[in-house]
Structure 1
Amino acid sequence: MMDNRIKRMLELVEYHTRLTDVDKEVISNLIQQIEITELHPNFDVFIDVLDSQKKSAIVVYQRPNLTDEPLYSSDLTGELINLENEPAVMRTMQIGLASKGVHATSPGGKDISQTVFPIHSEKEVVGALILESSLISDIVEKLPFAFDESSKKILEHDALNDFYNQLDHAAIIYDDMGYVSIANEPAKSLYRSIGYQNSIEGMHYDNISLDFATYEYMRYLFEVKKEQSQQHESRYLDYYLSTKIIWLPDTKRILVFINDVTKEKEQEQNIKKKSLIIQEIHHRIKNNLQTIVSLLKLQERRSQNAETKKALRESSARVLSIATTHQLLSQEIDGNVSLVDTVTSLTKNLQNLLTTKSDIEIRIEIDKSIVLYSEQLVALSLILNEVLSNAYEHAFKDKDKGIIIIKANQFQNKLTLVIKDNGEGYDVERVESSLGLKIASMYVSEALEGTLLTKSDVNGTMNKIEFTIDEE
């Protein structure tokens, strides 16, 4: 008979779950122990495991009460269990702590009492050992509640209790023995939503805590470690809960506030997902642009015309500047990039692409804290490309050495970017109609909604760009 039950368990686990061979062996050994030693003879005994989707549990073992009439006349092995009706089973599987004497509803609709122990394998909870008995009202009434009825009534009619009921989040007061003396309406509603159909008042901390701490451990933290409070976030089922636990030393009570932050967490997850999608888009754009640059370079090498070569090289630089920006954006999850990183990458690419002079020194004086979002970053990259390309091509024709300084200053949301060289200078009015300067001027005024000031003389050229940084 025992071999048949183990065989049936293995078949169900194989079909419905993702448990490993080690997990299966743990459950098999437990079944043998229950059968051979007649463990827990006064209870109907079950072993449940979560299905592969972890949305419901499946009964993989059942043994009826050995000393009294069994609760069930039929074999429930192989049945899927709605865990909303069995909060103790779900709680134990979720957090790995035992739940003792918790009210539940049987698959046949009976009111029952459940004590549930986690089944651990390789440090994970792989199932639950469930002991079930009839829920007898006189047994429930004899539970050792540490508060007396008179003090409870005073608390219930106190203004403090009214205050708790007006809170938007759950508030629970545990007495000095760890039993719930007061639970406000949001607390009752929260626990109903996760399967506790009866009132949680009178229940013990260890049966309803939704994290990994026991009542004794909390008392240890407060009384031995002298902590005043504990605060943490945890996940239970599909809920994200922010919990604050406060020690009331005068009465040795514990006050617990639970805030359901599920919507906020889901919004955070959605933002992260969208950010990852945007990152992937930037990565693909960068790859496509680099392909275009490769094709332009191929055309440049094949061309015999100097003007054509120059035009193709300048086009390559423009496309590469945009590709560089998308490369950086693909590495940032929040959609903004440090300006100094952008300028550093851009200048390296331009030095490799546009000049053969190794004695042009680039000095970048930009604080790491200055960041820009994608649209402004792409526009500024194109502007920098045109200004720097112009400097590489014209500023140092008759000089062996040169210096280009790029510096930025941010005051509140205003950014000033200066590109200055010590080259030969040029007549600004005469060359302002060049394509490169037209592109730079257009992007400053239209994309950045800023201003571009250019000054040039025999001591060099200075371009100053000013604009307002977007917050998003």
Structure 2
Amino acid sequence: MQSSLTQSVETISATPEPRRLSERVATLQQVLPLALLALVMFYQVTRQLIFPARDHPAMFAVEFLAFGIGAPAALWVTLSWIGQEIRARETAQDQADTRTRMLLEMQHRIKNNLQTVADLLSLELARTKSPDAAQSLRDSVTRIKTIAAAHELLTADQVGATDIVALAERVSENARLAQAHPGQTIQIRVSGEPVRLQSKAATAFALVINELVSNTLEHGFANVAKGEIEIGIAADDARPNAERRAYVIVQDSGVGLRDGFDAQRDAGLGLRIVRTLIEKDLRGVFSLTNGALPDLPTLGARAEFSFPLT
């Protein structure tokens, strides 16, 4: 098996890389003008041999200079210009590929480092005996894993942007696994059209979803055996001279907001983080009210926010 693997590696390493387009154009630049020159000379000499007295010798010289030297020279210059343009594009593409590889490597390393930090905090969580400290550590672990999930999806997409529907699914499931009590059955549904965000906005969006879902699990379903959370994502159609926005709704079937609750006055740390991320990082607007899922009569908390996609 080792011999077979070695042979496979040697075969792969021995396989020549395909020639680049600029190299092929350079070969044509060397061959085609000479071939054209030989063809013109053959034509002129053959014509003089067959029809020796048809043209004046001076006309023969003019035609030879025009077609025998001018045409190959023009062809050489044209191919030279084409080769330079192709090489410039290949150089730009190589630089872009290098930046992409560096970005993917950076995202991968960030994700691994964040996962390591989360694992270290999880060890501390297993050792602590204070309920308040345990909850704080649990929240920190979930937030760090949320950022790591965003970087993981950015690495997988390989374009520096990620689909926030897939991101919301990953983040909400992580929050459910971290926050749901034993014996609880919490169903989370994420729906919507694909919407792509760049790295910074995607990370902020992931943290917002994590905080909203964690807040629902901690407060809305504190003493509930079953519950549902729906996350809906939509975006405006692209229109000329119009700002395209994304719209997100996080609706649960929990106990809802208490009477007289004010999102500005009564917000805890989680909601303050949500509002700051939406207003500062995403440049959006946020609201929190009570609402009901279509198939359930009970009123739960309904968080809505929108932000520009530019």
- Change beyond 3 A, Cα 1:459–1:141: closer
How far does the alpha carbon of each residue in 1:23-79 deviate from its partner, in whole angstroms, 9 at most, with x for none?
9xxxxxxxxxxxxxxxxxxxxxxxxxxxxxx9xxxxxxxxxxxxxxxxxxxxxxxxx
> What displacement does 1:383 show?
0.8
> What displacement does 1:350 show?
1.4
SS at 2:156 equivalent: coil
Q: Which runs of 5+ in 2 are unaligned?
A: 1-10, 48-54, 239-243, 292-297
How far does the alpha carbon of each residue in 1:320-367 deviate from its partner, in whole angstroms, 9 at most, with x for none?
110100111112222111112111111221122111355211111122
State the one-letter code of the partner of 1:309.
A
Moved more, 260-269 or 325-334: 260-269
Moved more, 139-148 or 408-417: 139-148
Query: d(CA) in 1 for partners of 2:184 and 2:302?
Result: 22
Residue of 274, 278, 288 corresponding to 1:454: 288
Asked if the contact 1:379/1:447 (under 8 Å) is kept, the reply is yes
1:415 corresponding residue in structure 2: 246
After superposition, where does 1:389-428 map in structure 2 within 5 Å? 389-411=214-236, 412=238, 413-427=244-258, 428=261
Q: Is 1:336–2:161 an aligned residue pair? A: yes
> What displacement does 1:397 show?
2.5
State the one-letter code of the partner of 1:321.
T
After superposition, where does 1:44-55 map in structure 2 within 5 Å? none
Query: d(CA) in 2 for partners of 1:99 and 1:366?
Result: 57
Residue of 177, 192, 207 corresponding to 1:366: 192
Query: d(CA) in 2 for partners of 1:147 and 1:403?
Result: 90
> What displacement does 1:399 show?
2.6
State the one-letter code of the partner of 1:296.
L
State the one-letter code of the partner of 2:305.
I
- Change beyond 3 A, Cα 1:262–1:313: same
SS at 1:466 equivalent: strand
SS at 2:255 equivalent: coil
1:354 corresponding residue in structure 2: 179
Asked if the contact 1:407/1:418 (under 8 Å) is kept, the reply is yes
Q: Is 1:376–2:216 an aligned residue pair? A: no
> What displacement does 1:456 show?
2.2
Query: d(CA) in 1 for partners of 2:120 and 2:24?
Result: 61
State the one-letter code of the partner of 1:418.
I
TM-score (norm 1): 0.49
Query: d(CA) in 2 for partners of 1:349 and 1:240?
Result: 53
After superposition, where does 1:279-290 map in structure 2 within 5 Å? 279-290=104-115
1:429 corresponding residue in structure 2: 262
SS at 2:133 equivalent: helix
2:43 corresponding residue in structure 1: 144
SS at 1:330 equivalent: helix
TM-score (norm 2): 0.72
CA RMSD of aligned residues (A): 4.0
After superposition, where does 1:119-138 map in structure 2 within 5 Å? none
Query: d(CA) in 2 for partners of 1:270 and 1:141?
Result: 43
Asked if the contact 2:176/2:213 (under 8 Å) is kept, the reply is no
Q: Relative to total residues, which structure has the larger helix share, 1 or 2? A: 2
> What displacement does 1:417 show?
0.8
> What displacement does 1:271 show?
1.2
- Change beyond 3 A, Cα 1:459–1:140: closer
SS at 1:399 equivalent: coil
> What displacement does 1:449 show?
0.8
State the one-letter code of the partner of 2:270.
G
How far does the alpha carbon of each residue in 1:97-126 deviate from its partner, in whole angstroms, 9 at most, with x for none?
x969949xxxxxxxxxxxxxxxxxxxxxxx
Query: d(CA) in 2 for partners of 1:332 and 1:262?
Result: 28
Percent identical pairs in the alignment equals 22
How far does the alpha carbon of each residue in 1:404-426 deviate from its partner, in whole angstroms, 9 at most, with x for none?
11111110321001111111101
Residue of 261, 265, 272 corresponding to 1:438: 272
> What displacement does 1:441 show?
0.3
1:43 corresponding residue in structure 2: none
How far does the alpha carbon of each residue in 1:358-408 deviate from its partner, in whole angstroms, 9 at most, with x for none?
52111111223x111111000111111111100111112333211111111
1:292 corresponding residue in structure 2: 117
